[in-house]
């Protein structure tokens, strides 16, 4: 994919760009800040090394964009591709998007979503999806405003590492 930058001069001298390897530690810190915001910091197992490997290792599992103001990363979006058997195309799944609290309300999240939608369009994705916590009214209102549909009838189903191990051993 070609490297494309969005420059926004009227908002914090902001640039939205693809993440580069030297951004890894700052991205990891943003993700740790997100965990605190979501009140799940006690569940975090990821280390700086895990984040770096996922983004820039031998076989990366995710990609990222960052919002940068004056060489300081103020936001990050972590995404990967999934596949819809019903649409018959890959999708772009936004795992996390986070903007530092002091930079919120300056349309940075909006511009990041615009960039992610552009990536999804360039890659011929049939869908772009993400989750939102049911108590995060500000985010829900923002996503609705952006034209996203909140699918209340769908529930997240998850197995943690112990659950995977337990289920795996039932197959023996």
Catalytic residues: 143
| Per-residue confidence (pLDDT) for residue 5, from 0 to 100 | 52
Q: Computed from CA positions of residues 131, 103, 77, 87, in that sequence, does the dihedral angle turn out positive or negative?
A: positive
Domains (range + CATH), the chain: 6-170 (3.40.630.30)
* Mean pLDDT across 76-88: 97
Q: What percent of the chain has pLDDT over 70?
A: 92
The pLDDT-based confidence of 169 (bands split at 50, 70, 90) is very high
DSSP assigned state of 148: P
**What phi-psi label fits residue 88: left (phi over 0), alpha (psi between -120 and 50 degrees) or beta?**
left
- Residue closest to 12 by CA, chosen among 97, 64, 77, 73: 73
Contact present, 34 and 98 (Cβ < 8 Å): yes
Q: What is the pLDDT of residues 27-41, one digit of tens each?
A: 999 999 999 999 999
Does pLDDT of 8 surpass 50? Answer: no
CB atoms within 10 A of CB 37: 13
Does pLDDT of 6 surpass 50? Answer: no
* pTM more than 0.95: no
């Amino acid at each position: 994919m070609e490297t494309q930058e969005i420059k926004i001069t009227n908002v914090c001298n902001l640039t939205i760009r693809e993440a580069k390897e030297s951004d890894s530690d700052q991205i990891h810190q943003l993700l740790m800040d997100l965990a605190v915001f979501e009140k799940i910091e006690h569940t975090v197992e990821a280390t700086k090394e895990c984040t770096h490997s996922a983004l820039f290792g031998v076989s990366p599992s995710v990609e990222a964009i960052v919002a940068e103001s004056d060489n300081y990363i103020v936001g990050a979006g972590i995404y990967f591709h999934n596949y819809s058997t019903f649409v018959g195309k890959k999708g772009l799944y936004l795992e996390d998007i986070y903007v530092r609290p002091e930079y919120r309300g300056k349309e940075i999240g909006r511009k990041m979503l615009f960039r992610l939608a552009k990536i999804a369009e360039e890659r011929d994705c049939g869908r772009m999806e993400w989750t939102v916590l049911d108590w995060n009214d500000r985010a829900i209102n923002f996503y609705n405003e952006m034209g996203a549909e909140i699918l209340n009838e769908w529930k997240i189903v998850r197995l943690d590492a112990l659950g995977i191990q337990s289920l795996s051993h039932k197959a023996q």
